[in-house]
Structure 1
Amino acid sequence: MEHMDATPDTSAYIADFSRFLEASPSSYHAAAEVARRLDAAGFTALAESQAWPTGSGKHYVIRDGAIVAWSQPAASGPTTPFRILGAHTDSPGFKLKPKPTIGLHGWLQAGVEVYGGPLLNSWLDRELELAGRLVTRDGREYLVRTGPFMRIPQLAIHLDREQNNGLTLDKQRHTKPVFGVGDASSADLVDHLASLAGIDGWDVAGYDILTADTQSPARFGIDNDLFAAGRMDNLSSVYAGLTALLDAPDARHISVLAAFDHEELGSESRSGASGPMLDDILTRIGAGLGASASEKLQAYAESWCVSADAGHSVHPNYSEKHDGANQPVMGSGALLKINANQRYATDAVGAALWERACASADVPYQEFVSNNTVPCGSTIGPLTATRLGIRVVDVGVPLLSMHSARELAHVDDLVGLSRAVGAFFAGV
């Protein structure tokens, strides 16, 4: 299939996606930014501890670093099915440990724990920020971010002439960022973060603070169609789902954006895809429509989830790592992700749905399957299919440098994913 032509709509999409990425240095910020945009579009926040309104409407729920939003048309009934775009808000990196302020050899350093599976070397020699949430003794939460603040410095080649023959990083010794000079008594990271949030450090009882690269997203390349940024795995899918939901027409189903947290850790948390969040919310929506247990299962039987998570473009320097026949190239469309062992949930019926969505949106797509000697990762897709028993198809934008501090995509694929999800929400 041919590449989509670059249009002013593409430029506007990429510019706004860049703003979305810069507003979302952590999963908590990403959920808050999605909520801010939903508020502006007339959606209403609901609290899980309170009764929910019945009838049609546009609502959302935040649970920690996850957010679920839905648009419920007036014609909805007890057996109305759901159309769900599933994604995740977290990205690999580092998370601040307890007692995080370390003073060694005259340097101030931060104690961090590896979060997920980052490409460690990509985080070296980059200006990083800390971002996430602080929780005070009374249970109130405060979002905080530092801006450029720290750096993991690489050892000079003069001190280890063999580095270019094989760099090995010890996750405990070699990944502690520096943020100043002095000793641990001269600075306190928690106090600094608290001051940015406008609270006292002594009042901070807990925190979930992660690192993020601070370099701005950028377009480049001979046709200006390559796009580099951090956290595109998987904010590319969150943003595509958000834009599609905001434009979704009334249909014979309830359109849902489910952006989970903790996918990079295996999704086993109260806000992850293995947890109860999505089923809790769909059950409450159904209850508001008067659905019995049997009618809930009828609705699920006709429901769909598009599990959207970034995938792999063929790498020109490592083509042997890919399947010989299936070698998707960035710029040729979003991926239909297939795995015989159900690491992706796509089956033949799901493949047909994705083909219809892409055809309706007039965008190309391409298949991805792993080399048999290079096992693939997994997504929220199989987890959602297992928990809810609904049909799921796995898709995503092809990337190079996945799990790097700065990943690479093609602008046409980013826009194409949103258009295809829009067609899915329209009811193809």
Structure 2
Amino acid sequence: MVSAEEKQAAEELVEFIAACPSMFHTASTACERLEAAGFARLAEGEAWRLEAGGRYYVERNGSSVIAFSVGKHAASADSYHFQIAASHTDSPTFKLKAVPELDGPGGARRLAVEAYGGMLDYTWFDRPLSLAGRVLVRTANGVESRLIALDCDLALIPSVAIHLDRDQNKAFSPNRARDLFPLVSAGELEAGDFEEYIAREAGAAATDMLGFDLFLVNRVPGRVWGAASEFVSSAKLDDLMCAFMSLRAFLSAKNDGAVTVWCCFDNEEVGSGTKQGAMSTFLLDVLTRLTSALGLGVDDYRRALAKSMLVSCDNAHAVHPNRPDLYDAANHCVMNGGIVIKEAANQHYCTDAFSRAVFVGLCERAGVPVQTYANRSDMAGGSTLGNLSNVQASMHAVDVGCAQLAMHSAYETAGVRDVTLAERALSAFYGADLHIDAAHAACW
């Protein structure tokens, strides 16, 4: 049976997601938790002064965060290395365009949006929606970024009645330039009213609103459910479930021999190729700067990478109870079965035999179950941020995640027990002082 502690952890995950309606809010929420735990804020544009035993964090673009804890003995050049877990702040949704209003029949007003990432479009119909993100406003001294999250049921994307299109249950393929514009007014709003509304929420006049990055938010609350409280459902489980449990593991870890690092990158859902994405220089910049601030050199940094390990955390596909035919007969995973190691021969996942062995060994030592996922051999799979971050800072890496259903739906489902099991697995990784000898051996 699901324990009270496991259920509480899942409910805390739901609360975390509720506080993170956009990638900017996710980064802000993470920074608040880091500061509450005693981490000092660093700015990329300022000099860094670090010390052994210190804990620090830095953000980029207000949507990506890297935090690190320097073990008391971590700065010894011979044993200097990093133990990193990385997830992402963003999830598939729809982004508001720069000119956000569209008119319609009878004075109806709609929102002009475009797809952000590869979502299941049909799941966005007939549910309450809102907006969240950042607004850039003119001030007396220049420009200022302000976060907003509209706490109201603002919009809805209505379906076409079955009477008007009787083939929808046979083949429903909505057109994003016709069918997926959210309805925001039946005629009460006039042109410009919506932009004034957004500006007021940001505490500014419409004439002072210079830009915004705003995204649709599913307003259906997350919840723990099931006859035995086995399931947790919410928007954004991919990838805030991993962000949540890896942050908890990072904050609770004690490791005097390593520099432990927590990363949460933006823009994974659109390829990571941005200044704040996993393929950017963000991780490289942080690791090289902290190495220098600890009094170590370029050669020490490169030696450290060879002895370091990254755990890329992004959820996996649980076997669908109605469609088990879509999965590999042997390499599949289930909800509440423990953390999943993801592998692919095409290397779209960064796992190899060495990184798998190290991670499995750490989990076995902690008594945490491990599962395996690989795509069915005749189906193309996805990818995630592990290999992309390795473009800039190459090290041993393994791809893991929690098993979930309905990935990229507006409302996803995972196992309650997996929140705790995944946290325990990441705690085992963060807490072990890894000593890696090329790809020949590792000990802790």
TM-score normalized with structure 1 length = 0.96
State the match for 1:98 in structure 2.
98
Task: Please name the residue that 1:59 is paired with.
Answer: 56
The equivalent residue for 1:371 is 376
1:114-193 to 2 correspondences below 5 Å: 114-137=115-138, 138-147=142-151, 148-182=153-187, 185-193=190-198
Q: Secondary structure at the match of 2:96?
A: strand
Contact 2:95-2:214 within 8 A present in 1 as well: yes
SS in 2 for 1:412: helix
Amino acid at match of 1:362: G
Question: 1:334·1:364 contact (CA, 8 Å) conserved in 2?
Answer: yes
- Whether the aligned pair in 2 keeps the contact of 1:82 and 1:300 (CA below 8 Å) is yes
Residue aligning to 1:83: 83
Q: Distance in 2 between matches of 1:190 and 1:357?
A: 52
- How many residues are matched? 424
2:20 pairs with one of 24, 40, 43: 24
Determine the C-alpha separation between the residues in 1 that align with 2:257 and 2:18: 35
8 Å CA contact retained: 2:235, 2:411: yes
Q: What is the CA–CA distance in structure 1 between the aligned matches of 2:111 and 2:193, rounded to whole Å?
A: 10
Given that 1:313 and 1:327 are in contact with CA atoms closer than 8 Å, whether structure 2 keeps it comes out as yes
Q: Does 1:41 align with 2:42?
A: no
After superposing on structure 2, the runs of 4+ consecutive aligned residues of structure 1 that deviate more than 4 Å are none
Contact 2:341 2:373 in 1 (8 A): yes
2:440 paired residue number: none
Please tell me whether the aligned partners of residues 85 and 307 of structure 1 are also in contact (alpha carbons under 8 angstroms). Answer: yes
Which of 314, 318, 321 aligns to 2:326? It is 321
1-structure distance, mates of 2:20, 2:426: 21
Q: CA deviation at 1:78?
A: 5.7
2: CA distance, partners of 1:149 / 1:297: 51
After superposition, give the CA deviation of every residue in 1:101-139 in whole Å (9 maximum; x if it has no partner). 112112111000100000000011111110000112323
Q: CA deviation at 1:395?
A: 0.2
Q: Following the alignment from structure 2 to structure 1, what is the Cα–Cα distance between the partners of residues 335 and 6?
A: 15
CA contact (8 A) 2:126 2:158 kept: yes
CA distance in 1 between partners of 2:327 and 2:172 (Å): 24
Superposed, 1:5-404 pairs within 5 Å as 6-56=2-52, 57-64=54-61, 65-77=63-75, 79=77, 80-105=80-105, 106-137=107-138, 138-147=142-151, 148-182=153-187, 185-404=190-409
Give the Cα separation in 2 of the matches to 1:71 and 1:290: 16
Equivalent-residue separation in structure 2 for 1:186 and 1:389 (angstroms):
51
Q: Does the Cα contact within 8 Å between 1:103 and 1:183 map onto a contact in 2?
A: no
Q: Which amino acid aligns with 2:108?
A: W
Residue matched to 2:435: none
The one-letter amino acid paired with 2:36 is A
Aligned-residue offset at 1:74: 2.4
Q: Secondary structure at the match of 1:164?
A: coil
Letter matched to residue 355 of structure 1: V
Post-superposition shift, 1:39? Answer: 1.2
| Superposed displacement of residue 199, structure 1 | 1.7
Tell me how far 1:360 sits from its aligned partner: 2.9
- Rounded to whole Å, the distance in 2 between the matches of 1:204 and 1:360 is 54
For normalisation by structure 2, the TM-score amounts to: 0.93
- For residue 11 of structure 1, report the CA deviation from its aligned partner: 2.4
* 8 Å CA contact retained: 2:11, 2:223: no
Does structure 2 conserve the Cα–Cα contact (< 8 Å) formed by 1:326 and 1:367? Answer: yes
Q: Alignment partner of 1:171: what SS?
A: coil
Deviation at 1:75, TM superposition (A): 1.8
Identity across aligned pairs (percent)?
A: 35
Do 2:72 and 2:256's aligned partners in 1 also have CA atoms closer than 8 Å? no
Amino acid at match of 1:111: A
Deviations 1:321-366 (A, max 9, x none): 1112222111111110000110000001111122123223322111
Query: Cα deviation per residue 1:197-231 (whole Å; 9 max; x = unaligned)?
Result: 21222111111111111111111112111110000
Measured on the aligned residues, the alpha-carbon RMSD in Å equals 1.3
The 3-state SS of whatever aligns with 1:418 is helix
Query: Could you say which residue in structure 2 is the equivalent of 1:412?
Result: 417
In 2, the alpha carbon distance for the partners of 1:160 and 1:54 equals: 64
Distance between the aligned counterparts of 1:15 and 1:321, measured in 2? 30
Tell me the amino acid that sits aligned with residue 68 of structure 1.
I
Structure 1 unaligned segments of length 5 or more: list them: none
Give the distance between the partners of 1:88 and 1:247, measured in 2 at CA.
Answer: 20
CA distance in 2, matches of 1:159, 1:78: 71
- Answer whether contact 2:70 2:259 (CA < 8 A) is retained: yes
Query: Secondary structure in 2 aligned to 1:212?
Result: strand
Q: Distance in 1 between matches of 2:335 and 2:156?
A: 31
* Distance (whole Å) between structure 2 residues aligned to residue 401 and residue 216 of structure 1: 16
Question: Structure 1 residue 186: deviation in Å?
Answer: 4.5
1:16-56 Cα deviation digits (max 9, x unpaired): 11110000010000000001111111111111111111213
